[in-house]
Amino acid sequence: MTIISLAFNLPDVDFVTARLLRNASDMGNLLKPYYGNKIAAKFSKLIKENLLIAAELVKAAKAGNQRAVAAAERSWYANGEEIAEFLNTINPFISKKGFKKMFFEHLSLTTSEAVLILQGDYQSSIAVFDKIEAEALQMADTITAGIVKQFPKNFCY
């Protein structure tokens, strides 16, 4: 929704962006029972940064500012690497290399979706969104599986 609102200057952009950013807090809160407030807050911060960089990337692409696009893209992937590193640091069952690969695929797909929307190819953008959703679920499953392995006593089998 945020990509669409940014692309078309919709009046709901602040509201949908605020809702998008709530995902960062929600994701961090899921880690609290296992890792505590400090780690949860750090994860939320990393995810929020990722989402804000994505918005800047869309704005730069819409404006045709290739220099700003390239800078935002570098920051976006650096943040993605930091997220993979962070998850591996708190949980050795989450492979840094594997998660980084998934996360970078997620970023690539999100870029494709934004480009397709900006080009007016809405049907293709929806197909890419379906892939983004599947990728996000795969990342969530990877984090969940890592938590279950790290804290097996917390789960019934």
In a domain, 103, yes or no: yes
Number of Cβ within 10 Å of residue 106's Cβ equals: 19
- The model's pTM: 0.94
In a domain, 113, yes or no: yes
In a domain, 154, yes or no: no
In a domain, 87, yes or no: yes
Total structural domains within the chain: 1
Q: Write down the pLDDT at residue 101.
A: 98
Average pLDDT in the 40-65 region? 96
Q: Write down the pLDDT at residue 157.
A: 64
Tell me, what amino acid is at 33?
Answer: P
Q: Write down the pLDDT at residue 15.
A: 97
The whole-angstrom separation of Cα 114 and Cα 47 is: 19
In a domain, 153, yes or no: no
The whole-angstrom separation of Cα 141 and Cα 146 is: 8
Question: Which range marks the domain in which residue 109 is found?
Answer: 2-148
Contacts of 12 (CB under 8 A, 6+ apart): 1, 5
The whole-angstrom separation of Cα 96 and Cα 82 is: 10
Q: Write down the pLDDT at residue 155.
A: 85
Q: Write down the pLDDT at residue 156.
A: 73
In a domain, 155, yes or no: no
In a domain, 157, yes or no: no
Q: Which of 116, 111, 117, 20 is nearest to 70 (CA)?
A: 111
